[in-house]
Amino acid sequence: NGLVAKNTHCFWVIKLYYNAEGSSDFIGLSDGNRDDGADFYHGLVTEFGNFVQSIDYLNFTSSIGNMTVKVVNSPNTINGGRFSDLLSTLNFGNRKWELFQCIQGVTPYDTADNLIAEGIIAGDFTYNRNEVVLQLLDKSGTIHKELPTNVVTSTDAPEENIGKPIPMQYGDFHDNPNIGTIPSNFDKMFPFGRFPAIIINSWDDSLNKVVAQCDSQAIKTRDADLVFQYQKNVYANLGDVSVNEASGISTLRFSGASNIYYPELKNTSGLADRTFTTGQTLSASAGSTGTIQFDIPKQPKLGVITDINLLCSFQGFVGSGQDAFTFRDANNTGNSVNVTFSDSNLEQSIDIPLTGGNLIFSTTEQENWSFESTYEFFLDAGASVNVSAIFKEVALEISYTAEQDYTATVEDVQEVKNVTESFLLHDRRVMIPRQVIKQTKEITSPSTAQYIYFGGKGREFNTWAVSSGGSSRNNGYGFTDCIENPIYIVEDIIRSELGLVPDVTTFDVAGNSSNGKIGNVFDDAVTDIKFAFSQNRFIDSKTLIENIGSLCGTFFFLSQGTTFKAVVLEKDADYDNTDAVANIDYTHITLDSIGLTPINAVRNSISVDYDYDYVKKQTKQSVSVTDSTSQGTTVDGVNQTLKLELEADKIIDTTTATALANYYKDISKDRKLVIMFDVPTPKHNALEVGDIINFTNWDSDIKLFGSSMTENFIFIVTQATKRPDGCEFVVTEVGRP
């Protein structure tokens, strides 16, 4: 409240830490000598500059918070010498700084309530005989790191795997939920996704198995039936697999002696469409016969075939007393096997003989995998009864011995090619520190690694789901639940990979299961918003977190330069004036400008590519939406089709991908108001990017491109520039009457 009055004397003090950053290892500075009874602040600051931070409205990225401080460097100004003389014994580079907004007469100065920002001191000092220039950054450079942080180190691993990242797995990629109930005889066929597990032991002598690691953390589900080798452009199930978890590490163990392959069947008319929600009926009237057919296309030769089974799932049978019910070669009908016609045998695995006479698949066809032909089910009703069999699904199961080659080419092992960042300040390029900097040739060279692939469920919530910092949480998720909600995927990354604790209040507002604001992004129940992905390539953590944010309409940024905060950008209709955390009184500000976001920011044709294949390194499905009004020639149109293609490699289901496409259409089809204004007092210095505001007491003579300003125009702060005696903001429209 002390900041509200225009005549309040406000000032900044700053602590610059050095060496070990102990509680007393700092130099206090201000624009005048100040003593709060505990600490002394030298009055050497000639210019504090501005602390600036911004967010990109549609890219869901945030800038590096930064400011410049100029300090007197005259003789005998501190400790009997120049400030620059301190650099011989005090190392400020890459140490922290803390900035406080203070009010005359209110002490102490360095309270949590007074903290404006903190970060690290760039080592890029410059000085002359009169002044020292310090570059201060937020903590991005020391917080963010290369992920995954865990790599293969065992000398038992294949040589090319050593130093490669151990994947991070998130979400549910176990059984496909969109095809109906999967019968037990089909339980190897239908994973929702196939995520990579890296081989860490080429052959464990004590187990007589190859060992692959799924993640460096505990994961919810590993299924021995859903483990795959990628071979000759197809996925084949690995046989003789066991799952193991020890000390929180999930591994898959397999011998590689036997594989199972399910070829895709063609021209099936629903007979083998890889779903149990549809099917096909084979019927025969009394005295007649019926057939339904499918084709097997050309297959790769994967190994030596040891067994073939025909899998059938029936919905039911009508009638009885049929003369024959068989599966056969349509071009050589004498080669057949019997199928059971009985409601007590709805799920069948029928052995196809590989030796003897009248073979459906001849010895030569087995050796060469030359099955391309037409096959059929044959039903003979007999003389007096009408009969029918209702198929839900059919598959061919081929068991074989295979080469044990698990090598995959991994292009762009480093997902982000430039992991150094910089910003331009006073015509000088200032580098942002990074824990890992890679040379270009290391980033772009293709590499190889040995993987297998599995269907399962990824990382679990930990105790932080229900309690954080000694306080209970009520976000609807429990300890050991699978993490599918993108808000909490980011929280897990922050906690488990970066070793930090985010602002849990904003994370729960964004993502709680009952009314989290991401529900408004997808127009869906929060519990139905499910992300699933594997991070098996190196990536900068800031890039990964912001990429997830772009796929769930959420800004993740460092509040006060140090603590992660989550802010959801909702759709226009989801905002009202109660969402504003500050009402900006027009009579207390200076209006700088009113504008619109550029036409090039408008996007009215949205494509979302999703369902990522980790072997082929491409998405497999796509959805598109358009807005004809935005594309049109009316006052609400831009007279052009402007496209956005979004790679949603963290999403594998169509419902979520379609909802994301509609969200981007809704937030980007129109130009948005952009207002810049200055506050000549520090009244609103507590505001930061991501905060929601509106305006009161607006000058009625100033229209917003013809519309009158009301409190129902809602804005988000997209840039905040703070100084000791005031602040300047850029705000972008997010909701209007």
Asked if residue 432 has pLDDT above 70, the reply is no
pLDDT digits (tens, 9 = 90+) for 535-553: 999 999 999 999 999 999 9
User: What token pair was written down for 124?
Assistant: 């890029």
Domain count for the chain, please give it.
Answer: 5
Mean pLDDT rounded to a whole number for the chain: 91
Overall average pLDDT of the 180-188 stretch: 96
Q: What strands lie across the sheet with 324-329, from one edge to the other?
A: 289-296, 373-380, 324-329, 332-338
Whether residue 557 lies inside any domain: the answer is: no
Mark whether 205 and 288 lie in a shared domain. no
Q: How many Å apart are CA 295 and CA 272, to the nearest integer? A: 10
Look at residue 426 in the predicted model and tell me its pLDDT.
41
Beta bridge partners of 289: 380
| Same domain (yes/no): 191, 312 | no
Checking if the pLDDT of 252 tops 60, the result is: yes
Neighbours of 720 (CB within 10 A): 24
Query: Is 367 domain-assigned?
Result: yes
* Residue 333 φ then ψ, to 5°: -65, -10
- Same domain? 37 vs 138: yes
CA distances, 47 to each of 69, 71, 75, 86, 334 (Å): 6, 7, 19, 20, 95
Residue 584 reports pLDDT greater than 50: yes
- Quote the percentage of the chain above a pLDDT of 90: 83
pLDDT tier for residue 443 given thresholds of 50, 70 and 90: very low
Answer yes or no: is pLDDT of 403 > 90.
no
The verdict on residue 3 lying in a domain is: no
**Is the domain of 185 the same as that of 322?**
no
> Is residue 496 one of the residues assigned to a domain?
no
Distance CA 152, CA 492 (A): 21
Residues 285 and 349 both lie in one domain: yes
Both 98 and 116 in one domain: the answer is yes
CA distances from residue 336 to 282, 314, 393, 725 in whole angstroms, order as listed: 17, 19, 19, 90
- Please tell me which residue, 413 or 536, carries the higher pLDDT value: 536
- The whole model's pTM is what? 0.92
**How many C-beta neighbours within 10 Å does residue 128 have?**
9
Kindly indicate the confidence band of residue 414, based on its pLDDT and cuts at 50, 70 and 90: low
The residues, ordered by sequence, that sit 6+ positions from 732 with a Cβ below 8 Å of its Cβ are: 57, 597, 672, 673, 674, 715, 716, 718
Q: What is the pLDDT of residue 409?
A: 63
Q: In this structure, which amino acid lies at residue 416?
A: V
The Cα–Cα gap between 518 and 107 comes to 41
Per-residue model confidence as pLDDT tens digits over 668-718: 999 999 999 999 999 999 999 999 999 999 999 999 999 999 999 999 999
Which domain-ending residue is among 387, 409, 431?
409
- Are the C-beta atoms of residues 505 and 487 closer than 8 Å to each other? no
Residues 101 and 198 in one domain: no
End-to-end CA distance of the chain: 31
688 with 641, same domain: the answer is: no
Q: What is the CATH number of the domain that holds 332?
A: 2.60.120
Nearest to 183 by CA among 219, 221, 225: 225
What pLDDT does 449 receive? 81
Query: Residue 188 pLDDT more than 60?
Result: yes
Same domain flag for 166 and 41 = no
Tell me: do 716 and 593 sit in the same domain: yes
Reported as a single tens digit per residue, the pLDDT across 611-658 is: 999 999 999 999 999 999 999 999 999 999 999 999 999 999 999 999
Question: What are the pLDDT digits (tens) for 480-530?
Answer: 999 999 999 999 999 999 999 999 999 999 999 999 999 999 999 999 999
Cα–Cα distance, 322 to 340 (Å, whole number):
11
Contacts for 218 with CB less than 8 Å, ≥ 6 apart: 245, 248, 249, 250, 459, 460
- From residue 288, give the alpha-carbon distance in Å to each of 343, 375, 500: 22, 20, 73
Q: Three-class SS of residue 176?
A: coil
Q: Which two tokens stand for residue 720?
A: 């905040």
Range of the domain at 53: 10-143
- Examine the domain organization and report whether 27 and 105 are in the same domain: yes
**593 and 637 together in one domain:** no
Neighbours of 525 (CB within 10 A): 12
Confidence category of residue 411, pLDDT binned at 50, 70, 90: low
Is residue 270 assigned to a domain? no
* Mean pLDDT on 383-408: 89
Q: Is residue 562 part of a domain?
A: no
Asked whether residue 622 is assigned to any structural domain, the reply reads yes
pLDDT at position 429 is 41
What pLDDT, on the 0 to 100 scale, is given for residue 640? Answer: 92
Amino acid 45: pLDDT: 97
- Which of 409, 438, 468 is where one domain is finished? 409
Q: Does residue 352 have a pLDDT over 60?
A: yes
Compute the residue count for the chain. Answer: 737
Kindly report, residue by residue over 551-565, the tens digit of the pLDDT. 999 999 999 888 999
Percent of the chain exceeding pLDDT 70 equals 94
Instruction: Please say which residue of 120, 143, 166 terminates a domain.
Output: 143
Q: Give the residue, 378 or 737, on which the prediction is more confident.
A: 378
Residue 447: per-residue pLDDT: 64
Q: Is there a domain that residue 424 lies in? A: no
